Structure 1
């Protein structure tokens, strides 16, 4: 009898990251989070249907990892955007708003998971909750700094931060959903800068 061939096993340098990347690719193609499945992600990576469960308990856990990765990148982008204009609190706040919108446009799949209908329990995913809070804190701190410098109106910094976030989030969603189309020669940074300038004028002392 011919000897049976040994069963081949799949080896990947970083299967967890490959699964995250595959999920992002599928979300980008569909522009939808809800229809994503672990089976589909496994097929995209080229592994068995059981393979994703070595790293993620279910679809929610995979999406939580996608969101956490996105928040880490957004946090870096916001912090980097405020380095140069740090001496001017208003300029730093505006720069962070522009960076926020640019992140959303550059990473729409991440953004849809981070701020879409997907919701998770904070206690189940503490790392995701922590980096989300850190990211929002950048905006709160920027407003508090502006208040201390006498350049931003008094009031609860968190409340003002939510107002600022609502503005840039709304613009970001309208752009990535195609509700606002950039005309030829129009730049997303310029549009975001003009939009955030309106906010600055509203909260400036």
Structure 2
């Protein structure tokens, strides 16, 4: 994925996802990202400052994508959408919920996180139902991604949907 002219920031964030999926977040280095993008080793630092700055932008992008994925008002399907996001963007999912990896007080990150929370909770001021649903969907996605969930011969989205229905037997869609 050599960078030629255009959006280096986007190329570096895509390289970040690939690097994390290949070797994990602990092995991520700005120098490796520069090599992957075909730019000087100083280019990632110019855009992000340091590894934490890069991961801050990466997590913010993930929260933005999650907010988009959660659009809708069907509670069960939002849970499935959450799992779909986690399975399709595992590197983002790994970083987003690890504030020890990034600048958790970054304004762009806070805005993106708030946007995904708003999508998850909607107008619910109590937030209890949303927190319960999030906990269940997040737990399922985490267990699935780690390989610890049984029934891996099934489609994970169908399985998630079936499990979520067990928690809401009156759901008819």
* Aligned positions, number: 168
Task: Tell me which residue corresponds to 1:14.
Answer: 7
SS in 2 for 1:135: helix
Correspondence 1:61 to 2:53: yes
Once superposed, what is the RMSD of the aligned Cα atoms? 2.2
Structure 1's unaligned 5+ residue stretches are 1-9, 87-91, 145-155
Provide Cα deviations, 1:58-82, integer angstroms capped at 9, x if missing partner. 0011111111111111111110xx2
TM-score normalised by structure 2 residue count: 0.86
SS in 2 for 1:157: coil
Indicate if the aligned counterparts of 2:31 and 2:41 stay in contact, CA closer than 8 A. Answer: yes
* Cα distance in 1 for residues equivalent to 2:107 and 2:140: 29
Correspondence 1:33 to 2:25: yes
Q: Are the structure 2 counterparts of residues 11 and 106 from structure 1 closer, same or farther at C-alpha, using a change threshold of 3 Å?
A: closer
Q: 2:93 is matched with which residue: 111, 120, 126?
A: 111
CA shift, 1:119, in A, is: 4.3
SS in 2 for 1:55: helix
CA shift, 1:181, in A, is: 5.5
SS in 1 for 2:6: coil
Indicate if the aligned counterparts of 1:164 and 1:199 stay in contact, CA closer than 8 A. Answer: no
Task: Tell me which residue corresponds to 2:76.
Answer: 94
Task: Tell me which residue corresponds to 1:179.
Answer: 148
* Cα distance in 2 for residues equivalent to 1:25 and 1:39: 14
Q: Computing the radius of gyration over CA atoms, which structure comes out larger, 1 or 2?
A: 1
Task: Tell me which residue corresponds to 1:131.
Answer: 112
* Cα distance in 2 for residues equivalent to 1:192 and 1:199: 11
Q: Are the structure 2 counterparts of residues 137 and 23 from structure 1 closer, same or farther at C-alpha, using a change threshold of 3 Å?
A: same
* Cα distance in 2 for residues equivalent to 1:38 and 1:181: 37
TM-score normalised by structure 1 residue count: 0.74
Indicate if the aligned counterparts of 1:140 and 1:158 stay in contact, CA closer than 8 A. Answer: yes
* Cα distance in 2 for residues equivalent to 1:130 and 1:11: 31
CA shift, 1:47, in A, is: 1.4
